[in-house]
Chains A and B, each alone.
Chain A
């Protein structure tokens, strides 16, 4: 049961082999056993979860079940859920109980799904290892001495350790795809604007996008059917026809043109990871696809561009944490300025402070043109690289991360080394394109993800590309040891 697909869980629930209450309790028991070590969840509320499960069982009994009714999902602790503590991994929001639901949470509720708990994450989604969380680091279930990736590290670890059938994540620079890669999962960052950001705690608003994390591409498609869609409360939500993301899953891949960016296989890529990715591409050739070498010449620039734009947007977004309306407030201060400065010094962790300060600096008087404007100009060049590339190919493939899961503590003292973790994912966010990672094998016993990048709104095709591979491989069904 713990390794079942969402479709199989729905079938089992529909056939009354198990009730949603039983399934939820089974997972809560597993969480109670393993979470003290793995630390994938920040907040659990068995009473709320079981009440939702009981309500789902009623819907199932009445024959009113949809594809996700009664299935428990772990929710990244960046999504406000009414009545649930919502921390975003920060001391600043340690006691924040959300007074409303994020759009994504409402969508899961409306589908009759169960909220299993709120997952750990890098503080305010700023990190690639889950080590910046105020609520402690998360273990990678494949090797407990290693990181799960980040920022959606708790979601990734929860699904990898089978403490949830699937989870939500968010991806500003790779925060779904990199942890999916490091934990052996499938994860999709949709086209910017496809999933509403309403109630999703803001980091860098022009880049933030919610997406699903699960075992298989098919599971991702089922979740996308619930998560995607227009929401007037997010000013950048796109008004589009509702899509069925499962519609293309079984299409043959013959004739698909796969672009291989030479910059994604250059210096900086671990040799073991490169081999796994090349083996996966060889497998795709057997499925009747063609490969074509392409170039994304501005790939290296995506990191400096991102580390101007994302901190600039973050410094603005995080100015709301002032200790007045909600969140942490310092205990002692003498005046208003002192209250702000102490509150923010106490409430934010080191990496968040660094990024706020970088953002403040690049936006400060006299530097705007040299940094912010320059970065926006380069952002266009990066987006144009993809525009050119998609004239030659239908999807782009490469590694999702430059290496496998690294040891806890290995990169914490060197922010720049940590930032390079996102070399292959960041450009996709800057361009606003959809990107996905699927498990493609192992290097030294650690999972490796294959990244699939599509053109705008091509998620259904990308899920088809992932699903076809998962019909001829079994990497996505493999489980780490020690999670019984």
Chain B
């Protein structure tokens, strides 16, 4: 499979990373190398093999539905880029 710089820009946008034209060019070459490496997988027939998402065969634990965390809003917001009245500030989303 071969990628174009348009593909790179589309992927970068999906990943929410701004790229310049030059960066898209440079990234194209390196991503193509990596995807070429990944392509080796297609040589193996994996029909009927159960996918493995995790190395241990365990089920998700559930805990009791009780409050375990204390309110640390001020501590957590002290490291935020922009807050006001206990709220995180972001650019206007709804007109």
Contact = CB atoms under 8 A, between A and B. Distances in A.
Interaction A to B: yes
Interface of A: 95-97, 99, 192-193, 206, 232, 235-236, 238-239, 300-301, 303-305, 307-308, 315, 319, 322-329, 333-342, 344-345, 348, 353-354, 356-358, 360-362, 364, 370-371, 373-381, 383, 414-416, 419, 430-433
Contacts of B33: 414-416
A238 B58 contact: yes
Contacts of A430: 55
Contacts of B92: 335-336
B66 interface: no
A314 to B, nearest CB: 11
Given A358-B31, A377-B51, A336 B90 contact: yes
Interface string B19-47: 10000000100110111111111101010
A192 B55 contact: yes
Given A326-B80, A354-B34, A374-B42, A380 B52 contact: yes
Nearest to A360: B15
15 contacts: A192-B56, A235-B61, A304-B37, A304-B38, A308-B38, A315-B15, A326-B81, A333-B91, A337-B16, A339-B91, A354-B30, A364-B14, A381-B49, A415-B34, A431-B55
B17 A357 contact: yes
Is chain B's binding surface mostly helix, strand, loop or mixed? loop
Given A232-B63, A300-B40, A354-B30, 18 more contacts: A99-B76, A303-B37, A308-B38, A324-B90, A327-B81, A329-B82, A338-B91, A356-B17, A357-B8, A361-B31, A364-B14, A370-B42, A376-B51, A377-B46, A378-B41, A381-B46, A415-B33, A416-B34
A31 B84 CA distance: 41
Nearest to B26: A350
Contacts of A358: 31, 34-35, 38
Nearest to B15: A360
B2 interface: no
B18 A345 contact: yes
A234 to B, nearest CB: 10
A383 B52 contact: yes
B85 interface: no
Contacts of A340: 16
A97 B79 contact: yes
A374 B41 contact: yes
B34 A375 contact: no
Nearest to B51: A376
B11 A360 contact: yes
Given A99-B79, A236-B54, A364-B14, A378 B44 contact: yes
Contacts of A305: 41
B62 to A, nearest CB: 10
A376 B53 contact: yes
Contacts of B58: 193, 236, 238
B66 to A, nearest CB: 13
A339 B82 CA distance: 13
Q: Which residue of B12, B72, B82 has the most chain A CB atoms within 10 A of its CB atom?
A: B12
B75 interface: yes
Given A232-B63, A376-B51, A380-B52, A325 B17 contact: no
Contact of A96 (B16, B51, B63, B79): B79
Nearest to B45: A377
Contacts of B16: 319, 322, 337, 340-341, 344
A253 to B, nearest CB: 27
A304 B41 contact: yes
B93 A324 contact: no
B71 interface: no
A13 to B, nearest CB: 34
Q: Considering the complex of A and B, which 10 residue pairs feature the smallest CB-CB distances, nearest first?
A: A432-B55, A376-B51, A329-B81, A377-B46, A380-B52, A341-B18, A345-B18, A377-B49, A360-B15, A340-B16
A205 to B, nearest CB: 10
Contact of A307 (B8, B34, B52): B34
Contacts of A307: 34, 37-38
Contacts of B53: 206, 376
Contacts of B34: 307, 354, 358, 415-416, 419
A432 B55 CA distance: 5
Contacts of A364: 11, 14
A362 B15 contact: no
B90 A301 contact: no
A333 B60 CA distance: 41
A302 B17 CA distance: 28
Contact of A235 (B12, B18, B27, B60): B60
B80 A193 contact: no
